[in-house]
Structure 1
Amino acid sequence: MSKTKPIGVNFEELESQCLPHLSVDCVVFGFHDNQLKVLLLKSKFIDEWSLPGGFVGKTETVEEAATRVLKERTGLGEIFLNQFHIFSDPKRSNPGLKPENMKKAGVKLTNYEWLGQRFLSVGFYALVEFSKVDPQPDVFSQTCEWKGIDEVETLMMDHRQILDKALETMRLQLRYQPIGYNLLPEKYTMPELQKLYETILGRELDRRNFQRKILSYKILKRLPERRLGVAHKAPYLYRFDLEKYNQALLDGLSGDW
């Protein structure tokens, strides 16, 4: 049986299918037009945006639940996924999940209080190639869209805190692991790779130092092709050496940016 089979299609069985008090929230990052973007949902019930998330089935691990949620929202089955924090504020609850709102949306439950209980949430962040994602809303949302990180203001509940914690974790990861394979197309230029790192870090990097350091890790392959149609001298295209990239994920990298 597929690990990504949807849970809760029959809402009358939701309480029997899922664990009480436990959920997952996913921060999905993409990179497009030199912008770091995050996938957000617009609520049907209140004028707020939220991160993709869901409940944990009684026969699932939290990792399987997060993978299922992400497949339902993005259409992708193979996603770089990293668990980074547990959010456990005693006052955590979703103000939109009230019985009157559920009934308007056609969600019928025997016990509406089940949705309004306190849920501890396991946070995951995912790195995906923007062009491969087909955003799909869930039953509680009217739309699912990409938003630039700089465009995001307030989010539902503690989701802004979850997003900020995911960014902090990803920035720390850059100190000891490579990032880029899951965010960039197969072929890219050195300036495009540098822009990705600068966008994640939120600061500029010296061009020569960046190139020298990233090449020293030997995780890139320079291709004979160049990027055509640019204003300046056509830069060479690169791609990741996947075997060495995966080994660097295991062994780690040295030094900071």
Structure 2
Amino acid sequence: MDTNAAEDFFKNSSNFLLNVAVDNVIFGYHEKELKVLLQQPFALDKWTVTGGYIQKTESIAEAAARVAHMRTGLTGLFLEQFQSFGNPQRVKDNGFTAKHIAEVTGYDIPENSWIFDYFVSIAFYTLTEFSKVKITKSEFEAECQWWPVSELPLMMFDHELIIKEALKALRLHIAHYPIGYELLEEKFTLPEIHNLYETILAKPLDDRNFTKKLLATGIITKLNEKRQISGHRPPYLYKFNKEKYDEGLKSGVELVF
């Protein structure tokens, strides 16, 4: 890790809101699994959700959007603030010490630095189409990669809780927020959208009933195209009618059954 990067960060820390951060739970959907983008600090065997400090020149939402863009390379992503996290013990972690930071960065900071003090995180979840993401790790990270939400690695601080609460919020919002539109590719089959909602809700949904009611809303349109699947009858492709979808969200049409 570049010592200059750490030194520049601490010297310019006055440009940020101290002891307040955004933590961004970035969800993607791939190979019938809901995945979350996680980052791993240098020389630690633990991971965190993507996050960052809030610049004094930006709003909280702008900070969350900046973090999402830095990690995915995408702009205009769907972000939803769902909770805040804060207690005196949440930044206490065996691996997060002044000694460790000095060993990794070559930059010494005092043990009573603000970075070890009471920290409040404002949490967002972000939805993105998996195939469009171009992952970029920051200069403070050893790795940044997707993990299935069902197989999380060892997490730092309270970040496992943050992911669980994000998933809970996603399940509460799924009937009235553009979850499917944001996570699926532009063209998809009925089994694919059915599986997406089953995966998120972690429960079976009656296939016929789900399809019938989904088509009745008019938010998806059948295309004159089929997906070629080896050894199977090719299914028709569908896409979202964005205008109908937006109208449904505003009018309160339930998008999951």
State TM-score, norm by structure 2: 0.90
- Structure 2 residue aligned with 1:122: 122
Over the aligned positions, Cα root-mean-square deviation in angstroms equals: 2.1
Task: Tell me, yes or no, if structure 1 residue 162 matches structure 2 residue 162.
Answer: yes
Aligned to 2:190: 190
CA contact (8 A) 2:27 2:34 kept: yes
Q: Which moved more, 1:205-214 or 1:230-239?
A: 230-239
- 1:189–1:235 contact (8 Å) kept in structure 2: yes
1:68 and 1:107 map into 2 onto residues whose CA distance is 27
- The one-letter amino acid paired with 1:211 is T
Give matches, 1:168-207, under 5 Å: 168-207=168-207
Paired residues for 1:17-96 under 5 Å: 17-93=15-91, 95=93, 96=95
CA drift of 1:12 comes to 3.6
Match in the other structure for 1:247: 247
Q: Give me the whole-angstrom Cα distance separating, in 2, the residues matched to 1:47 and 1:162.
A: 19
SS at structure 1 position matched to 2:145 = strand
1:153 shift after superposition = 4.8
Q: What is the CA-CA distance between 1:10 and the residue it aligns to? A: 2.5
Once the two structures are superposed, the pairs formed by residues 111-150 of structure 1 within 5 Å of their partners are 113-150=113-150
3-state DSSP of counterpart to 2:182: coil
d(CA) in 1 for partners of 2:119 and 2:39?
Answer: 19
With 222-231 and 142-151 compared, the bigger mean Cα shift is at 222-231
Count, aligned residues = 251
Deviation at 1:33, TM superposition (A): 0.8
The alignment partner of 1:250 has SS state of: helix
Residue 220 (structure 2) pairs with residue 220 (structure 1): yes
Output the CA distance in 1 between the equivalents of 2:151 and 2:207: 27
For 1:8 and 1:79, locate their aligned partners in 2 and report how far apart those are by CA, in whole Å: 29
Q: Identity over aligned residues, as a percent?
A: 40
Q: Distance in 1 between matches of 2:194 and 2:244?
A: 19
Give the corresponding residue for 1:3: none
Q: Which amino acid aligns with 2:204?
A: E
Q: Relative to structure 1, is the Cα distance of residues 244 and 16 closer, same or farther in structure 2, using a 3 angstrom cutoff?
A: same
Moved more, 9-18 or 106-115: 106-115
Alpha-carbon distance between aligned partners in 2 of 1:255 and 1:80, rounded to the nearest angstrom = 17
Describe the shift of the 1:237–1:18 C-alpha distance in structure 2 as closer, same or farther (beyond 3 A): same
What is the CA–CA distance in structure 1 between the aligned matches of 2:247 and 2:230, rounded to whole Å? Answer: 34
Instruction: Tell me: CA distance 1:93–1:107, structure 2 relative to 1, closer, same or farther (3 Å).
Output: farther
Aligned partner of residue 234 in structure 1, secondary structure: coil
1: CA distance, partners of 2:6 / 2:26: 22
Work out the CA distance in 2 between the residues paired with 1:141 and 1:94: 19
Structure 1 contact 177–248 (Cα < 8 Å) conserved: no
Query: Structure 1: 5+ residue runs without aligned partners?
Result: 1-6
User: 1:202 is matched by which residue type in structure 2?
Assistant: A
Residue in 2 that maps onto 1:11: 9
2:93 is aligned with 1:104: no
- Tell me the distance in 1 between the aligned counterparts of 2:49 and 2:62: 18
Q: 1:176 to 1:182 in 2, by over 3 A?
A: closer
Whichever residue aligns with residue 169 of structure 2, its letter is T
Q: Which residue of 1 aligns with 2:238?
A: 238
Q: Which runs of 5+ in 2 are unaligned?
A: none
| 1:230 to partner: Cα distance | 4.1
| Contact 2:98/2:110 (8 A) holds in 1 | no
Q: Could you tell which deviates more after superposition, 157-166 or 172-181?
A: 172-181
Residues 31 and 25 of structure 1: CA distance in aligned 2, closer, same or farther (over 3 Å): same
